[in-house]
Structure 1
Amino acid sequence: MSSTDTRPTVTVLGGGYSGIKVAKALDDVADVTLVAPADAFTHNSAAWRALVEPEWLDRIFLPYDRLLTRGRFVHDRATAVDGRRVTLASGQVLEPDHLVLATGSGYPFPAKVDERNADTARARFQQAHQELRDAKRVLVIGAGPAGLELAGEIRAFFPDKTVTIVGADSDVMPGPFDQDLRDELRRQLDELGVELRLGTPIRDLPAVPPTTVGDVVVTTAEGEKLTADVWYQAFGVTPATGYLRGDLAAARHPNGLVRVDDQLRVAGAEGVYAVGDITDADRDGIGTASAQADLVAANLRARITGEGEVRSYVPGPMAIAVPLGPDGGAGQLPGLDGVAGAEMIAGLKGKTMLVEPWAALFDAA
């Protein structure tokens, strides 16, 4: 980049689904800096598949240095952000014209990884895969979409293993989903041989670390002991917003989400936007993160170039696809009357895990 370049500066904090889309979309009209704590993007949507079939590991880690043609990638993390002043762990300070917060959320491994190095993350997946192979009885704590998908993957690839899902709610998939979807997922899980223990709160998490073979024991609220050889935590989304300071911290809700307006601008902050899992604008998820990234990128492009109109974000209809292995699953999709069945979900996600559309962004090198 030439030192005489007068293009406006845009810093994107976070290299998840929304962060990479914003950075890529503005690479040709702004001086873009993408900051991420890892050296490679992780396609988290395929993480469960990589756990049961490690051949997928080569497809889900995509180096950030292949993303941008003109912009730059900084392997670092924000420790304090006050307005548009960004202080990184290295001590470097950035003060861009426009700042996009796309730091996403944390979730227990292996659904998400927090390793700085992709090789280290791969090794951790390989170890978790071996631990799973060595186990006979599997316990999944959490009956939301992640827990169901994980259980379906394990039974599809290891049909000899006993898999039990424990959930505190009376049904699977608590949240704004159609009951027909829950019923279909329960039916397929039953066909796969997954045991569901619903309406079963537990007193404490197992003493054995998750993804590690050991004598796993949990006690239900009623005093019943459940045992397994390995367990997985399929709950616990945590918005990554602890670095916010000043007016930005004031815009953070007690649950960690950030208050934004209809253009996804952070409340009380000039030139600062937030997208993806950290905003209070919509439910979390890849589809939502992608739509928000598209909107912020388009609005910033309009402001930078003077072409096009600035638009407001409108949450889309409910959409979810829950694979249960490569050939099973069910979903709730816009425009579809009724539940999307196994064949549709397998074609939409289960067989491909949506790798290619995201891999296509990493074509700069």
Structure 2
Amino acid sequence: MAKLVSVVVIGGSHAGLAVSQKLLRQTARAKITLINPSDEYYFNIAAPRFLVKPKSLPPSRYLYSIPDAFRDYPADRFTFIKGLVTEIDYATKSVSVTLAMNSAGATTTPPTAASFGFDYLVIASGSTTPATLGQAGVRLPFKPTAFEDTRKAIHEAQEKLSAAQRILIGGGGPLGVEIAGELAEAAGPKKVTVVSRTSVLLEGATAPVQRTALSLLHRRNVDVLTGVTVVDAVYEAHTQTWTVKLSTGRTYTVDAYIATTGTIPNNAFIPKSFLNAQGWVNVDKELRVLDNGVSRSDTYAIGDITSYPYRLLSRVPLQGETVAANIVGAIEQKGQVATYSAKAQKKMMVVPVGQSTGTGHLGDWTLFGCLVWFFKGKDFLTYKGPKFLLGQSS
């Protein structure tokens, strides 16, 4: 039997799972090594709902075992490594990994190191946020982080938001509007204020959607300040409150300051020659990584980490299909090339505002509140979690 081709996938979230599952289904000649800091797939899309309303969704709806999702494949076809990639070495065609304590290959209590060779590499390391890292405002796990006990982080965030009565949200984008809508409906008296840098909510959305978002928040007694930025936010430990200074000169004292802006690429291990000025990975139309402007035949990038704008979950399936098709084509020498076009996918925004309504658009079509509820608001897309886990969403 011919030697299996080694494909290393860095990142076990939506994008990394998509390409891993598709490769395993499309060719029997590849051995997939999936590397991720956590052995759980975190369906973070639903975070605004379960962080604010813990009883609305059980953890089984947004946390899934990654190894279990691949249990039907033999060991010579798939390996999961719980660890953090620290370096890519093209001289040896390998990646260096700091292993978690209970990962395969980790034999000591402190984290240890290992390396894994590859013929093809897929970078799907994604992104994080200042709030996730605790760099701005209350630490909220909008994204997974390295070696974090995700369940513990979620529980701590739920406790903080439950106890808070005065809340200021920095950012009027989809995440800011969604979490404001959830907080306005949460148990207990809460005074919620949203601060938007732009003159409208949901920048980039159509005008009717922007107006609807503002109206829905006002109806829920949420104060909205537009054309205003947060200049500084300081946590006062002795009072357990936040002092938030705005660009207008006004200062708010609140129980929780939630920062919903800012996206940070998970790129510490990625060669600088792959990155644009903002730190995202440059790719060509085949999703091959550009190394100083030249396409690499052995390395692909997919998902949030790429330089494509509009980092939307809806774009992951097609990207996964593109990368899988190109790697399979190379392995089996089919000579066919798949290409990806972000412009070919309609721009979509679906924003629940509370449990029963919301706003959004698909292309130029405005979505009524009942449609937003049906497609996302009723359970924040958690019904799609298992499909993304198995790389079956489209």
- TM-score, normalisation: structure 2: 0.83
User: What whole-Å deviation, never above 9, does each CA across 1:193-222 have from its counterpart, x for those lacking one?
Assistant: 11101111222123259xxx9222211223
Name stretches of at least 5 consecutive residues in structure 2 with no aligned partner: 99-111, 132-139
Which residue, out of 68, 82, 93, partners 2:89? 82
Q: Does 1:206 align with 2:234?
A: yes
Q: SS at the partner of 1:41?
A: strand
**What is the CA–CA distance in structure 2 between the aligned matches of 1:157 and 1:204, rounded to whole Å?**
27
User: What whole-Å deviation, never above 9, does each CA across 1:209-237 have from its counterpart, x for those lacking one?
Assistant: 9xxx9222211223211221112110110
Q: Which amino acid aligns with 2:276?
A: H
CA shift for structure 1 position 98 = 0.9
Which residue, out of 344, 347, 352, partners 2:371? 344
Q: SS at the partner of 1:116?
A: coil
Q: Does 1:286 align with 2:313?
A: yes
Structure 1 match to 2:276: 253
Deviates more, 1:125-134 or 1:187-196: 125-134
Contact 1:79 1:87 (8 Å CA) reproduced = yes
**What is the CA–CA distance in structure 2 between the aligned matches of 1:159 and 1:320, rounded to whole Å?**
30
Contact 1:98 1:271 (8 Å CA) reproduced = yes
Q: SS at the partner of 1:270?
A: strand
Contact 2:53 2:182 (8 Å CA) reproduced = no
Structure 1 match to 2:351: 322
Contact 1:328 1:342 (8 Å CA) reproduced = yes
Q: SS at the partner of 1:132?
A: helix
Q: SS at the partner of 1:172?
A: coil
Name stretches of at least 5 consecutive residues in structure 1 with no aligned partner: none
Which residue, out of 24, 27, 33, partners 2:24? 27
Contact 1:66 1:363 (8 Å CA) reproduced = no
Post-superposition, which runs of at least 4 consecutive aligned residues in structure 1 deviate over 3 A? 305-309, 360-364
Structure 2 match to 1:228: 254
Structure 1 match to 2:36: 36
Structure 2 match to 1:192: 220
Q: Which amino acid aligns with 1:182?
A: Q
Q: Does 1:262 align with 2:285?
A: yes
Q: Percent of pairs identical after alignment? A: 27
Contact 1:180 1:338 (8 Å CA) reproduced = no
**What is the CA–CA distance in structure 1 between the aligned matches of 2:23 and 2:128, rounded to whole Å?**
26
Aligned length: 351
Structure 2 match to 1:50: 50
**What is the CA–CA distance in structure 1 between the aligned matches of 2:160 and 2:113, rounded to whole Å?**
39
Q: Does 1:66 align with 2:68?
A: yes
**What is the CA–CA distance in structure 1 between the aligned matches of 2:65 and 2:128, rounded to whole Å?**
20
CA shift for structure 1 position 115 = 5.5
Q: SS at the partner of 2:258?
A: strand
Q: Which amino acid aligns with 1:88?
A: V
Q: Which amino acid aligns with 2:173?
A: G
Structure 1 match to 2:243: 217
Q: Does 1:168 align with 2:188?
A: no
Contact 1:276 1:290 (8 Å CA) reproduced = no
Q: Which amino acid aligns with 1:216?
A: W
Q: How has the CA–CA distance of structure 1 residues 186 and 289 changed in structure 2, closer, same or farther, with 3 Å as cutoff?
A: same
Q: Does 1:144 align with 2:173?
A: yes
**What is the CA–CA distance in structure 2 between the aligned matches of 1:341 and 1:272, rounded to whole Å?**
42
Q: Does 1:301 align with 2:328?
A: yes
User: What whole-Å deviation, never above 9, does each CA across 1:137-175 have from its counterpart, x for those lacking one?
Assistant: 11111111111111011112337311101122211122x
Contact 1:12 1:33 (8 Å CA) reproduced = yes
**What is the CA–CA distance in structure 1 between the aligned matches of 2:264 and 2:23, rounded to whole Å?**
28
Contact 2:84 2:146 (8 Å CA) reproduced = no
**What is the CA–CA distance in structure 2 between the aligned matches of 1:50 and 1:301, rounded to whole Å?**
38
Q: How has the CA–CA distance of structure 1 residues 304 and 289 changed in structure 2, closer, same or farther, with 3 Å as cutoff?
A: same
Q: How has the CA–CA distance of structure 1 residues 308 and 187 changed in structure 2, closer, same or farther, with 3 Å as cutoff?
A: farther
Structure 2 match to 1:129: 158
Q: SS at the partner of 1:290?
A: helix
**What is the CA–CA distance in structure 1 between the aligned matches of 2:390 and 2:2, rounded to whole Å?**
24
**What is the CA–CA distance in structure 2 between the aligned matches of 1:77 and 1:173, rounded to whole Å?**
34
**What is the CA–CA distance in structure 2 between the aligned matches of 1:208 and 1:50, rounded to whole Å?**
27
Deviates more, 1:142-151 or 1:156-165: 156-165
Q: Which protein is richer in strand relative to its size?
A: 2
Structure 2 match to 1:113: 144
Q: Does 1:101 align with 2:129?
A: no
CA shift for structure 1 position 100 = 0.3
Deviates more, 1:40-49 or 1:158-167: 158-167
**What is the CA–CA distance in structure 2 between the aligned matches of 1:58 and 1:353, rounded to whole Å?**
14
